[in-house]
Amino acid sequence: MEKQRMSKAEIEAHERAIKQVSTMLQRPDQLDKVEQFRRRIARKKASVEARLKAAVQSQLDGVKTGIHQMTDALKEVKEIKEHMSDVDEMYLSCGTLSDKMRDIKDISSQHRQLVAAMENLKHIFSVPEEVAKARQMLADGQLLEAHKVLTDLETSRDDLLYEQYKLENHSDQDIKQLQSFFAEAEKLSDELGEALFKVIAKTMYLVKKDSSKIVTVLRIVEREHRADTKMQEQERASGFLPPGRPKRWREKAMETIRQAVDNRIDSDVYDDREADKMWLVKHLEILRRNILEDLRLARFLCIPCFPPAYNIFEQFLHWYHLSLANHLHQIIQEGLIGNEIISLLTWLNHYTGSELMGHAELSSHIDTNKLPALLDDSVSEDLIRSYFVTTQDNMLTWTQKSLQQDSADWRREEEPETDADGYYRTSLPVILFQMIQQTIQVAQTISDDLKRRVFDVCINEMNKFVRLYAEAIVSYKEEHFQDRELPIFYPLYMVAVTNNCEAFTEFAVKLQREMNGEKVQTENLSSELELLQMDREFNEIENDNPFVNDEKDDPLAQFRREMDQVAQASCGYLLDEVFLDLKTHCTSLFTRSWLTDRSAVDTICVTIEDYYTDYVHLRPRYFAWIMREAERRVVVEYLRAVLGRRIKMNNQSERAKAGEKLLQEQQLLSSLFKKLHQPVGPSPCEALIPIAEVIKLQDKSMMSLELSGLVNKYNDATVEQLTALLAIRGDFSASDAKELAEELKMDSRESLTDDSEPEVRLFIDVDSAPATGFFSK
């Protein structure tokens, strides 16, 4: 078989040789190189044979070494076999040795216990003193020293208990006795733990003031953590676990910090909304500042103090996020109202922004995209739904604050602003209606239905605002009348607040148009009001009142109506200022000195013209009314003077003189008011003409006819007033004057078909003029 393999190999070698030779001698010119080819092949052959001989020699050396090692191993196996036989014989001879050694084992165990007792003898006899010493150290703040004493005591206790535990027949009574002997050490451990956790609870404060305390506490906690680990490993190996282990002080420390975070979140004792309407905004801002400050402390100061295994910054971030979520849910459960809901939702939108979690100093350590939402979607939806319910309170807060700011501006020592037409104004209407528009825009993001309902609430709240606005104007007026030198620009700002009333109405109309889907340009609002005013043109001519008399019951119509009432009251306050200046001069009318002195009427005219320069800054319809009302009040003052019996005529000459003077002053006043404005309807000054004619009438028999014309035209004149008018002539007895007056009034009542109001309210205001103001309506 071997010969066949060799023969086959030779044949293959011979065939490869033939191929190689045929490859080298393919051209005739290669025959010249046959000798060269032969030498090259001979060199290769010699090299291969040398390598083969070396390999064979190496293999032979290895085999020789292996044979020697196998021979030595065989000898050693025989020796081991002989030794094992000797061991077997020795083992058989020791079968009863364990029984003989039992006493020695007991003695050895007792010896070990005595050794442990001797080693811990110092601690055994000094437990009370060591505990007292450690407690004094705790009181002095020497935490590391106190912990060393505690560690020595616990080590002594654990060693003694372990030796007792290892006894096969250990006594539970002895174990209990040892535990009771070291009971104070367990109490000391609890006291030390409490002291440590008190320090841990102040982590955020101490890292700024004295971080060494935090480091000391953490060193003790980590030592106890390692001791816990060691004792748990011992328990797995031997089943023995010392009492009080594991202490889990690391877990308790982390839990203490977490509770401190909860306390930090809940530490701000915020006011309720009755005490401070901005309580939630302030509280959220305090939360933001506190959380940001603490996270920055955790980022820069806590990380160097805490071991890396604590992941302290990530833990703080998790705790604060969780505690804040719970705190916000608690606030929501207590109940929020409109602006508080908006404040909370706005704050939540900025939670992950640059003002808190996305702060530049924290952004490298916080992935805000991975932070879970503080509120569930359902909770957010409930908040949005409740927004409508409390929008009313928001509006009240806004209007009050804006009105307070605007009323403060009324007291500035500079003139109010003017619009493009030169009419005085303040910014209050624009501010309030911008707020309303913003509120409506917020509601529009939810639904069109909520937008409409919020609009209705806003208009209702603006109806309430009318009263607040009127109260502010009354307060402003009363403040001025207490010291008329202040505010310096009282008349001008009273003009401005009066003009605001029309601006409020304009904005209300604009909002209504926008709610109806119409586009209204601000510059077209005045023309729109003019169209509304044209609808009332007939009433203006009849009763000379340019203010709204809309009988509709919808909130917008009510707002326009009451705002015009405020404007009318404000115009009345402006006139009160005028007639307060004229009070002295009005009291001098129709006295003896008045007959020969025209200073009173001149002063009245000059004063009216002086205030006219302020009144021209009123909106046109307000200006027309105030000038008409000023004329009416002047006439009422004249009537009050005439009917006040300040003078009694002694003869016809005095009656003629008084009548003529009254006619002259009537013409002067009538010319003045016609010059200042274009009146609509009969002039109030015309009432002085029949009064003058009655006074200067020479033929008493014609008095009935003369007086009847006055009574028929001014049917608000009373019997007493007509009697007083006749009495100042001096030629009518009281009974005759009263009889004539009653007769004329009776005839006048019979001629009236209804109880219509007089054309101009004059005589009825002589005795008791109605109080000026919105609240007298």
Q: Which of 426, 595, 615 is nearest to 503 (CA)?
A: 426
- Burial (0-12, 13-18, 19+ Cβ within 10 Å), 161: buried
Per DSSP (E only), the strands in 475-556 are none
Give residue 757's pLDDT. Answer: 53
State both tokens at 438: 């913003």
Give the span between the Cα atoms of 411 and 488, in whole angstroms.
Answer: 8
Give the span between the Cα atoms of 117 and 539, in whole angstroms.
Answer: 117
Give the span between the Cα atoms of 218 and 250, in whole angstroms.
Answer: 8
Q: With residue 174 as reference, give the H or E element that holds it.
A: helix 172-181
Give the span between the Cα atoms of 115 and 113, in whole angstroms.
Answer: 5
Give the span between the Cα atoms of 229 and 674, in whole angstroms.
Answer: 106
Confidence grade of residue 27 (pLDDT, cut at 50, 70, 90): confident
Residue-wise pLDDT tens digits, 279-316: 888 888 888 998 899 899 988 989 899 999 899 989 98
Give the contacts of 176 (CB within 8 A, at least 6 positions apart).
none
- C-alpha count within 13 angstroms, C-beta hemisphere, residue 671: 9
At the top level of CATH, which class does the domain 385-575 belong to?
mainly alpha
Give the span between the Cα atoms of 461 and 394, in whole angstroms.
Answer: 10
Three-state SS for 241?
coil
Region 607-621 average pLDDT: 93
As a residue count, the chain comes to 777
Please provide the DSSP assignment of 704-740 as one string: HHHHHHHHHH-TT--HHHHHHHHHTTSSS-HHHHHHH
Give the span between the Cα atoms of 711 and 763, in whole angstroms.
Answer: 10
Region 620-630 average pLDDT: 92
State both tokens at 590: 């129709």
Backbone angles phi, psi at 725, to 5 degrees: -60, -40
Q: How much is the pTM? A: 0.55
Residue-wise pLDDT tens digits, 154-204: 887 777 777 767 666 666 666 676 777 777 888 888 888 898 899 999 998
Give the span between the Cα atoms of 683 and 679, in whole angstroms.
Answer: 7
Q: Which residue has the tokens 């909002």?
A: 511
Phi/psi class of residue 371: alpha, beta or left (left: φ > 0; alpha: ψ in -120 to 50)? beta
Region 734-759 average pLDDT: 75
Per DSSP (E only), the strands in 95-236 are none
Q: Which of 299, 290, 302, 295 is nearest to 265 (CA)?
A: 290
- Burial (0-12, 13-18, 19+ Cβ within 10 Å), 454: buried
Q: Where are the domains of the chain?
A: 2-87, 110-258, 268-375, 385-575, 588-776
Residue-wise pLDDT tens digits, 335-373: 887 667 777 877 887 888 888 888 888 878 888 788 888
Q: What is the CA radius of gyration of the chain?
A: 57
Q: Which residue has the tokens 């501006």?
A: 409
The whole-chain average pLDDT of the chain stands at 82
Calculate the alpha carbon distances from 762 to 146, 342, 714, 715, 759 in Å.
Answer: 100, 55, 8, 10, 9
- Cβ pair 196, 251 in contact under 8 A: no
Higher-confidence residue: 722 or 396?
A: 722
Backbone angles phi, psi at 424, to 5 degrees: -65, 150
Alpha carbon distance, N-terminus to C-terminus of the chain = 141
Confidence grade of residue 534 (pLDDT, cut at 50, 70, 90): very low
Is residue 418 pLDDT above 60, yes or no? yes
Give residue 749's pLDDT. Answer: 77
Is residue 548 pLDDT above 70, yes or no? no
Confidence grade of residue 537 (pLDDT, cut at 50, 70, 90): very low
Three-state SS for 75?
helix
What CATH number belongs to 588-776?
1.10.357.70
Same CATH topology for 385-575 and 588-776?
Answer: yes
> Which amino acid, one-letter code, is at 338?
G
> Which amino acid, one-letter code, is at 111?
H
Backbone angles phi, psi at 425, to 5 degrees: -160, 170
Give the span between the Cα atoms of 648 and 651, in whole angstroms.
Answer: 9
Region 117-144 average pLDDT: 75
Is residue 531 pLDDT above 90, yes or no? no
Burial 186-207 (b: 16+ CB within 10 A, else e): bebbebbbebbbebbbebbebb
Is residue 731 pLDDT above 70, yes or no? yes
Tell me whether the omega of the peptide bond preceding residue 487 falls within 30 degrees of 0, making it cis: yes
Three-state SS for 417?
strand
